[in-house]
Chains A and B, each alone.
Chain A
């Protein structure tokens, strides 16, 4: 009877412990991919008059070095696709969070971030970064002369890697937006 009482009293603790053990033993189940936006969804939201054709930004060696220095990202690919209408550009970029890639959509306009969204989240934890209250901190962010975001972004306890990835992606998007500015447009080609 006493044993039953002790078990019942600790039922909550036991349930929590079982859940933790379950997540540890079956990490694949707790790290399923969550798709929040498709390209079509985000394009329709950003470009009200219809999604424009994709453009291609060809990356030069110096630009890759700059991306490494400012965004701490190693761009191995030769080109990046983006969608642009007027001075609004939509970038779809991904980078590893802690172990798996997170895909973001970043809307830039006149060297500022207009909007940032998590499109696909694959990590086990840390998806709080997709919440509007958090993404709002990135709106109107610019790149400073030192290559940092112009305003402080709060962290989230338990989502450190995801937050870092989001900041890196924000810096990279602003850098890419700088490179497609009319004065740097020599490396941009239209959709084939």
Chain B
């Protein structure tokens, strides 16, 4: 009588444990199968780009920044600055962008590009000529371009004589465009640090689900152990009778 009650209890909890651990067991099994064939599947050489899969890595992935204009996104790729797919010129790091009615100024770390209103690259300007360092932002003072060096310190640029003049604090200048994370449609292959192998290893161990993910996988592993033991008990106690 006692044995029958124990077998019934084990049977009931065997089913419940199987259902509760199913999701984690499937995840661990599939990731384990894939990891067993890392070399053949080249998991260490390919990188997932899904923002959902990469969600837990957040700041570990470099999100490139660009500037959204009415004609498209300005961004740097391979030392060149592009407007969507059109190469405008060389640029190591994009700092800012401003436009007047007739011209546009694209400020990079080591070179500035003066552009016409229709995005024709007019002139390459060396920022060192203005003797201004650590430029934070670019704006316009009605018809002139201005750059911000420190908070509240704006310099008006004379692009004819390559000189800069400090603007009074009452002059109202603000950055016209701000740097913002590039949309995935442009920065499609931005992840080059988290490989499929790393992702699957983290899924397999539970780290992909965060701090409590490892404990969740531990619980699922204990449940799997219980399933094995209870399954054996149910099987052998039945065959004995």
Contacts and interface: CB of A to CB of B under 8 A. Distances in A.
Contact of A76 (B92, B121, B162): B121
Interface stretch (A3-11, A96-104, A176-184): A96-104
Given A33-B128, A54-B160, A100 B110 contact: yes
Interface string A72-95: 000011111100000000001010
Contact of A81 (B88, B110, B123): B123
Given A94-B111, A101-B111, A191-B160, A78 B122 contact: yes
Interface string B133-176: 00000000000000000000000000011100000000000000
Interface in A138-192: 191-192
A100 B126 CA distance: 12
Helix, strand, loop or mixed for chain A's interface? strand
Interface residues on A, range: 20 to 34
A39 B162 contact: yes
B126 A77 contact: no
A77 B162 contact: no
Nearest to A81: B123
A95 to B, nearest CB: 9
A169 B99 CA distance: 31
Nearest to A192: B160
A122 B160 CA distance: 24
Nearest to B87: A76
Nearest to A58: B122
A71 to B, nearest CB: 15
A81 to B, nearest CB: 7
A120 interface: yes
Interface of B: 87-90, 92, 110-111, 113, 116, 120-124, 126, 128-129, 131, 160-162
Given A76-B89, A77-B113, 9 more contacts: A39-B162, A54-B160, A54-B161, A76-B90, A78-B116, A78-B122, A96-B90, A191-B160, A192-B160
Lowest 3 A-B CB distances belong to which pairs? A120-B128, A77-B121, A78-B122
